Every structure is written in C-alpha cells, then in structure tokens.
Amino acid sequence: MDRIIGLKEFRNNVDGYVKRINQGYKFVVLKRGKPVFEISPVGPNVWEEVIDFTKIRKSGVNIKELLKRI
C-alpha cells in the first residue's frame, strides 16, 4: 500500500522514512499537492556484482593502479 507524504515532511524526516522503506513501505511524495516521485524498497536483483576487488586484495585495489593497467 502506497502512503502519501509531502516533500517537506520527507526532507525533515528522511532517516525515519528510510527505516520504513527498508521495512517494505512505499511512499508517493507530493510537492504542492502534485506527485513528484515514488520511493520503494530496492528489489533483490537490482545490483549485479561485476567484480569484487577485495577478492584480489583484501583492502581493495587502488584506482590509479587499475587505470594504468587498462
């Protein structure tokens, strides 16, 4: 179920809304009574791992070193 909130309310309480979004809530944000955007939880298949540089080196890979080798 979508919940409707004002942009000012959202901006003033972002942390609280992030917690509720992580719990599965969706929100439609209005500005001057008109919908401007919708916020919903990220689905499980949104991120695709291309490469995990921590598998190469625990602390990661220096971007300058990587760019030199490309």
pLDDT at 43: 81
pLDDT at 1: 58
Domain boundaries, the chain: 1-42
pLDDT per residue, tens digit, the chain (70 aa), is: 579 999 999 999 999 999 999 999 999 999 999 999 999 998 877 777 787 778 877 887 888 887 887 7
Choose which CATH entry (3.40.630.30, 3.40.1620.10, 3.30.70.141, 3.40.50.2300) describes domain 1-42: 3.40.1620.10
pLDDT at 19: 95
Global pTM? 0.60
pLDDT at 14: 96
> DSSP labels for 8-66?
HHHHHTHHHHHHHHHTT-EEEEEETTEEEEEE-PPPTTS------GGGTSTT---HHHH
